[in-house]
Structure 1
Amino acid sequence: MSLRRPGLLGAALLALSLAAGSTSTSTAGAVAGAVDVSSGRPAPGARAVEGWPVATPSRLGLRTKAVQRGAAEARRLDSTCFAVLRKGKLVGEWNWQLPREEPREVFSITKSVTSTLVGIAVRDGDLRLDDPVSTYVPQWRGTASESVTVRNLLSNDSGRFWSFKTDYSELLSARSRTKYAVSLPQQYAPGSAWAYNNAAIQVLEPVLEKATGMPVARFARERLFEPLGMTRTSFITDRADDAAVFYGLRTTCLDIARLGRLYLDSGKVGGKRILDAAYLRRAVGRSSSVHNAAYGYLWWLNRPGLLRGATDPVDAQGQPLHPVTGQLAPSAPVDVFAALGFGGQVLLVDPATRTMVVRLGLPAQPGDEAYGFTNAARVLTRALR
C-alpha cells in the first residue's frame, strides 16, 4: 500500500494493511440488528445485544442520519457487519450475509490483539519491552539480530528482512510460519528502518510462548478473550500448531468492540487492570518510531508526520524513496487510533468521545473505494455533534 494517499496497489499489496472494501452490492437482507436502519430506534424489545446495552444515537449525542448513512455505505461495500458504539452502549449494529454470532476472518486486526497480549505479559512481569528477542529466540544469539528487542517488533522497526515474496507468499505457505520467520536474516540495523513486516511480527509468537509458558492461543483465551467476554474470538494455527499472530484472528463486530472498550477503559476490565496505563499510552497514544507517525505498537494512529505504508519503495538503507508527510484522516481527531486489516476490516476508536466504529467485510478488489481508517473516521466525524 502506498501512502502517497492511503490508496490501493491491488488486493495483494493491501494484505494485512490499511485496506479497501468491495463495491459490489449485497442482495442479502440485514440479520436482525439492534437498531432499525430507517429510524435509528432500538428494535422492539432490544434492551441489550450480546451484553451491550442499546441506546439511540440521539440519546448519546450522535446524528442519527449520519449513523444510518454509515450503515448504508457499509452494506454497499459488501460488509458483513457494521456497528457504532459510544460510552459503552450500542448505538447501531447491522449484519448482512452472516449471522452476528458467526466469526469471520479479520486479517491484520490480529496484530492489535497480539500487541495487547504483549502488554498483558508485560503487566504480568513475564517480559519487558526492551528485552532482546534473542532471550526467547536462541537462534538469534551471536547473529546480527541479537540486539533486536521486543519493542522493535511491536514498532515495525526491527530491521528484519522483508520482501514481497517472503512476506506474502513464502511466509503464508510455510508449514511453520514461526520457524520460517525466525530463519530470515537481518536486513538493516535495529531501529534504523521501518517496514510493515509480517514475518518479524510472527516472531512474537515464540516470544510470548516462552515468556508466558503457554501456547499463544491458550494465553489469549485465558488472559484476554474470556475476561473481556470475547466468546466468539479465536486464533488460527498453522500446520505446526503455531498461532498466526500477524493475521488469522476470527471474531465478530461486537466481540472485537470489546477490545476497543478495554483501551477506552484504560486497560481495565471489570475493574481489574490487565494492561498498564503506560503500555496503553505507548501502544495507541503516540508514534512508536520516528519512521512512521501513523504507527504505535501494532495499532494505526492519526498522528501527523512522516507516513509509511505496507509496500512503499525504499532505498538501500530502507528509507522511503518518496517520503510522504501528513495525516491518515485530517478531519478526525489526532488521538483516534485503529486496528486495521485487509478488506477494510476496521475497529476505529476515538478516546475523547468514547466512540467506536467497527466494520468487517469481504476482501477488496483492485481499484475499489477505500474503506479503512479514512472511511470509518468519516462516519465518526459526521456522526459527532
Structure 2
Amino acid sequence: MQLFRFPFSFVFVLFFPALGYSHGPSVSSDLSELRIERVLRKIRSIKSINSFVVVQKGVVKAQYFKEDLGWQSPQDVRSVTKLVTALLIGLAIDNSFFISVDQNVGKFFPAWHRNAKKVPFDGRLNLKFLLSMTSGFDWNEWRDVREYSNWRKAPNQEEFLFHRSLISKPGSKFSYNSATAHLLSIILTHVTGMKTEEFAKKYLFNPLGIRFYRWEKDKKGINNGASGLILDAMGMQKLGQLMLKRGKIGEKSVISGSWIDKQTESEIKLEEMNSYADSYGFLTWINNNKSRPFFYAMGYGGQLILVCPKMDLVITATTLWKGLGIQLATQNWDRLME
C-alpha cells in the first residue's frame, strides 16, 4: 500500500549511494562517522521516529531513541510481523511439521474449496503462494488501506477473503495481501497444535534470547500473521542478525541457512510496487542490486528491519504510526528526498 512509503528514504540515499539513489561517488562498505552523523541529524529532525539503530560487523555504529525510550521499549512493528511469520514457516519445515513450500494447504479451509471450484484454472492454495503473495485473489490492499481495515473488522476473516474471486493463476502475479499472510498463522496453529506465539517462543524467540513480545490476535484467538507483533529494538536487531548470519547466532543454528536463502531469494518480480524493491521473496522485500543487494521488512508508518549482507549491516527503526495517513506519510517521504 502507498502508506508504506515510509520516512526512511534518506537511509537508502546515504547508506547505499552506489545503488543509484544519489549521484555521489562509490564509497567503502564501512560506514564513516560523517555519513552516520548526516543520518542522525536527519533522524533527530523527524518527530515521528521512536528508534533508529545501525549495527555493522557486530558493532553499534549509530543509535537514536526518542526521549525516554530505549533498547527495551516496546513497539508495534506492523507488517514487519510478516517477516517473522515467514521465519516460523521455515522453522515448521525444519521441524517436519510441513513437507515443503509446495504443500497444498487448502484442506484447512472449507471456504476455499467452495471458491476454488468456481475458477477456470488450477486453484491450488500452496504455502509458496501465500508466502510470495501470489495467491491470485482479487485484492487491492497496496493502493487502498481500507482493504486491510475491512478484513480486520470482518466477523469472519476467512470468509471475507475466500468470498473474493480468483483473478489470476496462483503463482503468476504479485498482489500485496495481509489476509493471505494471516492464513499462514492459522495453518501453523493447525499443524503444530500450538498458538503461533507459543511456537515462536519455543523455536525462535527463546533461542534468540528475545524476552519481550506480544502479538495481536484475531477474533478466533489466532495470532495475526500479517501484523500486530510488538517487539523492542533489541528483538528487531536480533532478528536482523539472524537473517544476516543465515540462521545462526554465534555457533548456534536456530533455523536452516537454506530457509534464509529461500526467504530472501526473488520469488516474483515487482512492477511499480515499491521504490526500493525490485522483487519479493517469502514475505520479504528484495533489492537485487549487483554491488550491494539487500532485503528488508517494512511496516506501516516506518517500522523497518533492513539487512545488507555485503556490508555486514543491519538497520532497524520504529516510528509513531497511529493516525499517520497517506498524505502525511507521503509528505514526510518527499521532504526527505529533497
For 2:68 and 2:78, the matched residues in 1 are separated by 17
For 1:176 and 1:251, the matched residues in 2 are separated by 27
Q: Match of 2:299?
A: 341
261, 264, 267: which one aligns with 1:288: 267
Change (3 A) 1:136 1:333: farther
Change (3 A) 1:174 1:67: same
95, 102, 105: which one aligns with 1:124: 95
Change (3 A) 1:287 1:61: closer
Show structure 1 runs of 4+ deviating over 3 A: 163-166, 175-185, 290-293
For 1:176 and 1:220, the matched residues in 2 are separated by 25
Q: Match of 1:225?
A: 205
Change (3 A) 1:166 1:65: closer
Gaps of 5+ in 1: 2-12, 23-59, 305-331, 376-385
For 2:302 and 2:146, the matched residues in 1 are separated by 23
Letter in 2 for 1:370: W
69, 89, 94: which one aligns with 2:64: 94
What is the SS of the residue equivalent to 2:53? strand
Q: Match of 1:266?
A: 246
Residue 196, structure 1, aligned to residue 165, structure 2:
no
- Alpha-carbon deviation of 1:334? 4.1
Residue 114, structure 1, aligned to residue 85, structure 2:
yes
- Alpha-carbon deviation of 1:92? 2.5
Q: Structure 1 length as normaliser, TM-score?
A: 0.70
Change (3 A) 1:136 1:277: farther
- Alpha-carbon deviation of 1:139? 3.4
Q: Match of 1:80?
A: 50
Change (3 A) 1:298 1:70: same
Q: Percent identity?
A: 27
Change (3 A) 1:218 1:290: same
Gaps of 5+ in 2: 10-28, 118-122, 272-277
Letter in 2 for 1:120: L
For 2:238 and 2:156, the matched residues in 1 are separated by 30
Q: Match of 1:244?
A: 224
For 1:295 and 1:165, the matched residues in 2 are separated by 20
2:301–2:329 contact (8 Å) kept in structure 1? no
- Alpha-carbon deviation of 1:61? 4.2
2:304–2:317 contact (8 Å) kept in structure 1? yes
Q: Match of 1:379?
A: none
Q: Match of 2:24?
A: none
What is the SS of the residue equivalent to 1:358? strand
Change (3 A) 1:227 1:178: farther
- Alpha-carbon deviation of 1:197? 0.9
- Alpha-carbon deviation of 1:142? 5.8
Q: Match of 2:128?
A: 151
Residue 234, structure 1, aligned to residue 214, structure 2:
yes
- The CA RMSD measured in Å over matched residues stands at 2.7
Residue 278, structure 1, aligned to residue 236, structure 2:
no
- Alpha-carbon deviation of 1:118? 0.8
What is the SS of the residue equivalent to 2:167? coil
- Alpha-carbon deviation of 1:281? 1.2
For 2:73 and 2:115, the matched residues in 1 are separated by 45
204, 213, 217: which one aligns with 2:193: 213
Q: Match of 2:38?
A: 69
Report how many residues are paired: 295
1:333–1:350 contact (8 Å) kept in structure 2? no
1:217–1:243 contact (8 Å) kept in structure 2? yes
For 1:177 and 1:272, the matched residues in 2 are separated by 38
1:83–1:254 contact (8 Å) kept in structure 2? no
1:181–1:199 contact (8 Å) kept in structure 2? yes
For 1:98 and 1:287, the matched residues in 2 are separated by 40
- Alpha-carbon deviation of 1:183? 4.9
Larger helix fraction of residues: 2
What is the SS of the residue equivalent to 2:64? strand
1:178–1:205 contact (8 Å) kept in structure 2? no
For 1:251 and 1:119, the matched residues in 2 are separated by 20
For 2:110 and 2:158, the matched residues in 1 are separated by 13
- Alpha-carbon deviation of 1:20? 3.4
- Alpha-carbon deviation of 1:333? 4.3
What is the SS of the residue equivalent to 2:331? coil
1:300–1:337 contact (8 Å) kept in structure 2? yes
